[in-house]
Each structure stands twice: as structure tokens, then as C-alpha cells.
Homo-oligomer: A and B are copies of this chain.
């Protein structure tokens, strides 16, 4: 049974191939497109208080979902062009983060890890 992420990655490959967009999809360009979408997601929250950011109207949530999706689509596309599996990479990074932020030191604190090295 194909994995859901792999299925999406394949669909995305087809979408790009049909439009002959591989020529534009250098990692340099994709990373720019990705941060542009990421910022559209930031825009949704820029004037909200933290409290309000938890409590979106259905209309706002629908917009947020679309910006989240666009960011994810470019991130997945970038990872595919680079030959990186996003989920494996995330697991490997979580091992590193677990060492940078040991539970007993990091509990309830929002400092950067360099603060308790």
C-alpha cells in the first residue's frame, strides 16, 4: 500500500511534469517560492494576539489551511528535487533536537539550546 506522503509527492511530480515546470524548479527557486508561501501564512497571524491565533473563525481557518498547504507543497517539492525523504529527515532531526534540548533542562523553558550548553 503506498504511503500517503509518497502518493502526494507522485501527484505533485505529475502536476509539474504536465506543465513543463521542471525547468523552473531549481532548489534555489523552490526555496524562494516556499518562503513566500510561508510568509503568507505569517500574514494570517500578524495582527492577532496569541490568544486570538488559537481561536480562528471558520473562514480564517480555511484561508490558513490553504497557505499551510502551499508551504507544504513547495517544501515537499523541494525535498523531492533534492532526493530527501521529509519524514525520515524529520525523525533524524528529532534525535538531534532531543540531545540539544534534554527534558530535565528544557522543561518549561523557551530559551535557545545554546543557553544551557
Binding site for B on A (CB under 8 A): 1, 3-5, 8, 11-12, 15, 18-21, 23-24, 26-29, 31-36, 38-51, 53-54, 56, 61, 64-66, 68-73, 75-76, 78-79, 81-82, 84, 86-87, 89-94, 96-98, 101, 103, 106-108, 110
Contacts and interface: CB of A to CB of B under 8 A. Distances in A.
A94 B12 contact: yes
How many copies of this protein are present in the complex?
A: 4
A106 B44 CA distance: 18
B46 A42 contact: no
Contact of A31 (B31, B42, B61, B103): B42
17 contacts: A8-B87, A19-B101, A19-B103, A20-B107, A21-B110, A26-B53, A27-B53, A28-B49, A35-B38, A61-B84, A65-B82, A68-B78, A68-B82, A73-B94, A73-B97, A75-B75, A76-B90
B89 A69 contact: yes
